[in-house]
Amino acid sequence: MADEKDREEIIVAEFHKKIKEAFEVFDHESNNTVDVREIGTIIRSLGCCPTEGELHDLIAEVEEEEPTGYIRFEKFLPVMTEILLERKYRPIPEDVLLRAFEVLDSAKRGFLTKEELIKYMTEEGEPFSQEEMEEMLSAAIDPESNSINYKDYITMMVIDEN
């Protein structure tokens, strides 16, 4: 039983180190706080992919009673450690992403036009914000064809996550 406890302590220590390193990148004042707007980036840099709703809930959990616009490391650390231990907000597997794009590509062309992508991402499900849409388009759209070859895009996204 001691081995199991030792292993968990080592894993937690590793997570604490990774979380601290990710947090420090955005702790510009070196005072153990980051701008609340950076929390999503920090969480994603740790391999987690929460939805905007999940991110909003998470921020509410680590914010001060009276929100200051900043998140303190000591409040963020235990919450983020728990997320990593529970393997929450895992990235969607490549085959699932591919099937999702294939459903949208009813003509089975292997690509979506920029217009189709914008329509699906802003009018269906949990809509992308203007900023999220611009970020995705800059990464996903081939400027020559003005379309997204989704197999290439998924490969690029999965490589970025690792």
β-bridge mates for residue 72, sequence order: 33
User: pTM of the full predicted structure?
Assistant: 0.65
Cβ density class 118-144: b for 16+ within 10 Å, e for less: bebbeeeeeebeeeeeeebeeebbeee
Answer yes or no: same fold for 1-86 and 94-157.
Answer: yes
Give the pLDDT confidence of 31-65 residue by residue, as tens digits.
Answer: 999 999 999 999 988 989 898 889 999 999 999 88
| Selection from 148, 143, 145 nearest residue 112 by Cα | 148
- Rounded CA-CA distance 159/162 in Å is 5
Confidence check: pLDDT of 161 > 50: no
Give the pLDDT confidence of 117-126 residue by residue, as tens digits.
Answer: 999 988 888 8
Class of domain 1-86: mainly alpha
- Rounded CA-CA distance 100/104 in Å is 7
Residue extents of the structural domains in the chain = 1-86, 94-157
The DSSP annotation for 29-60 comes to TSSSEEEGGGHHHHHHHTT----HHHHHHHHH
- Give the pLDDT band of residue 1 (cuts 50, 70, 90): low
Which CATH number applies to 94-157: 1.20.1090.10, 1.25.40.80, 1.10.238.10, 3.40.640.10? 1.10.238.10
